[in-house]
Amino acid sequence: MTQFDCPLCDATASPGTAEAPPKQKKTKMAKSMDAMKKYMIHPDDFMNRNGFKIHRDRFDGTDLEKQSVNALYYFFSHAHANISPRDPGNMEPPWSAMATPGKLFDPKYLPPGVTMGEPAKMKLKDRMKVLNHILDLGELEFHHWKPRRGEVMEPVDFDMRYWSRPPIDPEAEAFETARAEACAARPVHFAPSRIPGSGAEGSASGGPHSDESLEHGPRSARTPRVVISPYGSYCAARVHDDSLREDHALVLPPTFAKLPDPDDRLPEGADPDNLDAPCSVPDNVEAKAQWCWVQASRSVHEGRLPATLFKKCVTLLSEIPFFHNHLYEASNFRKQKMTPYLPPCLTWSAPDLMGANSAAASHELEEFITCGSWCYTYKGEEYFAGVEMAWLLLLGILMLLECDVGEDTHHYETFTRVLKAFRNFLRDGAT
C-alpha cells in the first residue's frame, strides 16, 4: 500500500491481541491507494492538521478519466480519516452522508448540481466534475466524520488521531501475532522444515512439493495432515520483476520475520496428494499466478501454447490495480441467460484439468475463451467482468489444452489472438 505521510509521524497498526484476528480483505480505499502510486500526500501539504492541499501538477501525464475513481477514493478517504482515530485504508467513507451538502464538509468542495456518492457508482461526467473541482480548489477538508453505522462526530483531539499513535516494536508485534495464531490453531505435528522445490513440470511428483505433518502410529490415531501449498510464500515461480522491490534503494534492507502465512494453507476440498489440481490452489492472487506460471512452463505445452504471452497476462492480472467491477462475482455468469456463459466444468474446485473431456464440454469451453469473457455488455455499455472471471479465463485455456477433443486440437493461433486482446485490456487497466 502506498504509505500515507501524516503530519506528525508514520501511521502504525495496534499490537495484536491474544485472540487471532479474522483475515480481512483489502477495502476499496486501500486498493485505490495502491493504485495512486504517482500521487502522494506530503507532510507540507497539510493545513491546520484538518485538511490538505491538492496539486493538479502531480497528475501530469496521467489519464484523469481512468484514474478518477482511484483519485476520489484516495482524496476523500484520507480527508475523512484525517480527523478520526481510524486508518483511511480500513474505514469506508460515509458516501451516503456525503450526499447531504454541508453534513461532513463545506459544500464549496462539490461543484454545483453534483451529488457526491461512491466514486465507482457515479457517472463518469459527475466524477470528472468533482475531481476537476477539487483540483481547481487545490484543497479538501472535513469538519465532521462518521463511522460506519455510527453517528456524525466532531474531529477527535490530535493525540487521538490515527497518525499520532507512537510506533510499536516490530518484534513485539510479530510475537503477539504469532502467539495469537498459535493459541487459535489446532495442535499438529510438523515434519522437519523443508523448503519446497520448484520443478518445471506441473505434476504432483515432478513439480513443487509441500510441507506436511508427520503421521505416527495406526491410521485411526494419526494426527490429521496440515498441508501447505508451494504456491504463495514459498514462491514456486517468480511471477514479478525482482527490480520492483527496490531493496537497493534502502539504506538498511528490511529483515522479515519468518512466520507461517495462513494464505498458504490448502483450501477446503483440496487434494493433499495432488497439489497441482485446481482445487488445491489457495484462493489468493499470488498462489493462482504462480500456479498458472508453472502449468504454462510444462514441456508438454510446447508448440501448443504461447507461453511467454500467457505468462505476461498472468503477471499483469496479478498486479492490476483496483477498478470498477473488480470484485464482481463469477457466479453471476453461471446462468444460461448471461453472456459470457461460464461452463459448469470451469471452476477452481475441479479435481484436475480434465473437466472438459467431452466434445460438448470442450466446445462450451472454447466458446467461453474466444468470446472476450473478461468483459460483458449491459445496456449497450461494456463492463469488466471481474478478476474471478479473468482468472477463470486462464484456467480455461490450461484446461482446454489438457482436454483437446476431436481432430481440431491445435489452438495456438486462437490462444495467441485471445491472449493478445486480454493483455491489451490488462495494460489499459493498469494505467
Give the global pTM: 0.49
pLDDT at 222: 46
347, part of any domain: yes
114, part of any domain: yes
What domain range is 294 assigned to?
200-215+223-429
Domain co-membership, 266 together with 322? yes
How far apart, in whole angstroms, are the C-alpha atoms of residue 280 and residue 353?
12
pLDDT at 417: 95
Q: With contact defined as beta carbons under 8 Å apart, do 21 and 59 qualify?
A: no
Q: With contact defined as beta carbons under 8 Å apart, do 85 and 155 qualify?
A: no
Domain co-membership, 136 together with 260? no
pLDDT at 31: 64
- Grid cell of 288 as nine digits: 493462482
55-78 confidence digits (pLDDT tens): 888 877 677 888 888 889 889 988
180, part of any domain: no
Domain co-membership, 248 together with 116? no
pLDDT at 182: 63
86, part of any domain: yes
Give the total number of structural domains in the chain. Answer: 2
Q: With contact defined as beta carbons under 8 Å apart, do 310 and 258 qualify?
A: no
Domain co-membership, 374 together with 261? yes
Domain co-membership, 144 together with 251? no
Counting Cβ atoms within 10 Å, is residue 404 exposed (0-12), middle (13-18) or buried (19+)?
middle
277, part of any domain: yes
Domain co-membership, 39 together with 96? yes
186, part of any domain: no
Domain co-membership, 137 together with 239? no
Domain co-membership, 232 together with 371? yes
Domain co-membership, 38 together with 103? yes
Domain co-membership, 256 together with 380? yes
Domain co-membership, 231 together with 288? yes
Query: Residue 50: which of 163, 165, 167 has the closest Cα?
Result: 163
Rg (CA), the chain: 24
204-233 confidence digits (pLDDT tens): 334 455 544 433 344 444 444 557 888 988
Domain co-membership, 133 together with 32? yes
pLDDT at 61: 65
pLDDT at 255: 67
Mean pLDDT, the chain cut into blocks of 10 residues (431 residues total): 38 39 51 66 80 86 82 90 83 88 92 92 94 94 87 86 62 61 56 39 44 41 63 83 62 65 88 91 94 88 89 94 87 80 93 90 93 90 93 96 63 92 89 62
232, part of any domain: yes
172, part of any domain: no
